[in-house]
Structure 1
Amino acid sequence: MFIDTFYISFFNRFKKGFKKKAVLLAQVYITFLELSLVLLLVSFFAAFANQMKIDLMSQTKAIVLLIILAIGIWFKNWLKFTGKKRNVLNASKKRKDEPLWKLILVPIVCLILTFVFVKSIY
C-alpha cells in the first residue's frame, strides 16, 4: 500500500537528522496525509450531494464526525507504525523510497483540490 511506502520513505529521510523524533514526525506526516485524502473524498461527495440537492447532515455534525475520524486515524497509525510493523517495513528488500517532492506534493494537492470542491459548494 502506498501509505506504508510514504511512511517508511518519510521516516528514513528524517531518521538521520532527528533520530528519536523521526517516528513522531513520520506519524504526524502520515496522519496529515490520510486526513487530507479523507477531506478530499468528503468534500467531493459534499459537492456532489450539493449539486444533486441532497441534504445529508448539518455542518456541525460533519465537523464533529471529522474530528472523531481524525482521532481514530491518529490512533490507528500509532498502533500500526510503532514497533514490529515499522521494523518489518524498514527491513524489506523491495522497498523503494519516494522522492521528497512527491512526499510534499501529494498532501498539498489533496488540500488544494479539497479547497476547490468546498468553494463549489458555497
Structure 2
Amino acid sequence: MFDNIFYSIFNKLKPRFGRKANNLAILYISILQLLIVMVIGVFLKAFFSNMNSNFLSDEKISILFILATIFIFFKNWIQYSGKKRKVKNSKVNHSNSKAFGVYGLILFPVGCIVLLLILNQAI
C-alpha cells in the first residue's frame, strides 16, 4: 500500500519538481507512516489509561517514538532511493496498479491528524 502511495505522489511531483520529487515523496510517505504510528500510540495510551494500567511513562513513549522516527526515515530512504526505486517504479508504471488522486493523498495525513485529535480527547 505504501509503495502505491509513494509512487502516486512521486509521479504527481516529478513534472513540477524534477529531481527533488524523490526527496519530497520520501518525506511525505515518512510523515504519513509516522502519523499512523502516532495514531496507534495514542490509541494504546488511551486504552491503557482507561484500563488503569501504567506500564510506560511519557518519557519512555517519547524515546520509543524518536527511535521509530529514525527507523522509518532510514527505512524509507533505503527503500525508495537508487536502483531499487527505479526497478519498482518501472513495474508500477507498467502494471495496472491504481494511482491515488490528489485529494486522497491530501486526505490521508489530514485524516490521521483528525484521528489523533479525537483520540487525544479520550486520554
TM-score (norm 2): 0.93
1:74-99 deviation per Cα after TM superposition (whole angstroms, max 9, x unaligned): 00000100012321222122232210
Q: CA deviation at 1:46?
A: 0.9
Q: Which residue of 1 aligns with 2:106?
A: 104
Residue of structure 2 equivalent to 1:22? 21
In structure 2, what is the Cα distance between the partners aligned to 1:57 and 1:67?
15
- 1:73 shift after superposition: 0.3
Question: d(CA) in 2 for partners of 1:48 and 1:84?
Answer: 43
Scaled by the length of structure 1, what TM-score is found? 0.93
Rounded Cα–Cα distance in structure 1 between residues aligned with 2:72 and 2:36: 12
Q: Which runs of 4+ in 1 moved over 3 A?
A: none
- Between 22-31 and 95-104, the greater mean CA deviation after superposition: 95-104
1:110 partner SS: helix
Extract unaligned runs of 5+ from structure 2.
none
Q: 2:41 matched to which residue of 1?
A: 42
Task: Report the secondary structure of 1:82's partner residue.
Answer: coil
Q: Report the Cα offset of residue 20 of structure 1.
A: 1.1
**Residue matched to 1:114:** 116
SS in structure 2 at match of 1:57: coil
Counterparts of 1:63 and 1:115, CA distance in 2 = 18
The Cα RMSD (Å) is: 1.0
